[in-house]
Amino acid sequence: MKLVASLTSPYARKIRVILAEKGLPFELVVDSPWEAGTRVPTVNPLGKVPALVTDGGEVFFDSPVIAGYLETLGAGPRLLPADALAAVRVRQHEALADGITDAAVAALLESRRPDGERSEREIARQLEKVDRALAELERRAAGRTWLDGADMHLGDVAAGCALGYLDLRFPRIDWRGRHPALAALAERLFARASFAGTMPPAA
């Protein structure tokens, strides 16, 4: 299978981490949807990465859907529990973590708009979402090794990708200082080969 991804996308990183954890072979097709000449829209009509193309030519997007597909392959450790309600709870953590990423991306894009078009109020509004969601993730991580049960699951992977994205784009946000359980979770995650091998290049 092929994964169409940019090297800085935290959503694509989530999928690359899952593929590594599961030991699934794939071809990485690096393509940035922001660049002229991108072929991403020919694969994903939404023009976003990640998009996964199976060996049979079927395309899956966005990252939660790809994560669900990869789980069906039955390779490597389970990142979603077999129990349906437990899986929904893991998905809730994934959504919370992806939501941090969504708000951080929105704040970054707004901050890059030209003078006169940029709204500091909108940047602050998005960063408030990040703050609130980090506090909620901290509450859920406190006193635990992983967010869901005794093993790492999809919510943990998404959390690591969101926190790594904050390090990349918003190093001024001192989430480690304010959220010790997230700092410990991130340390565990970032020590894994799957995370170490998917560090985004300096932007």
Nearest distance, CB of residue 29 and ligand GSH, angstroms = 13
Report yes or no: 153 and 90 within 8 Å, Cβ to Cβ: yes
Q: How many CB atoms lie within 10 A of CB 58?
A: 10
Site for ligand GSH in 3-62 (CB under 6 A): 9, 11, 33, 47-50, 62
Q: Which is nearer to ligand GSH, 45 or 180 (CB)?
A: 45
Q: Which is nearer to ligand GSH, 9 or 126 (CB)?
A: 9
**b/e map of 70-79 (b: 16 or more CB within 10 Å)?**
bbeeeeeeeb
Instruction: Give the type of residue at 94.
Output: E
Nearby residues of 114 by Cβ (< 8 Å), 6 or more positions away:
none
Could you give the 3-state DSSP secondary structure of residue 134? helix
Nearest distance, CB of residue 31 and ligand GSH, angstroms = 10
Structure tokens at 96: 């919370």
Site for ligand GSH in 62-121 (CB under 6 A): 62-63, 98
Q: Which is nearer to ligand GSH, 33 or 76 (CB)?
A: 33
Nearest distance, CB of residue 9 and ligand GSH, angstroms = 4
Q: How many CB atoms lie within 10 A of CB 187?
A: 10
Could you give the 3-state DSSP secondary structure of residue 29? strand
Q: Which is nearer to ligand GSH, 98 or 110 (CB)?
A: 98
Q: Total residues contacting ligand GSH (rule CB under 6 A)? A: 10
Q: Which residue of the chain is nearest ligand GSH when measured via CB?
A: 62
Contacts with ligand GSH, residue ranges (CB under 6 A): 9, 11, 33, 47-50, 62-63, 98
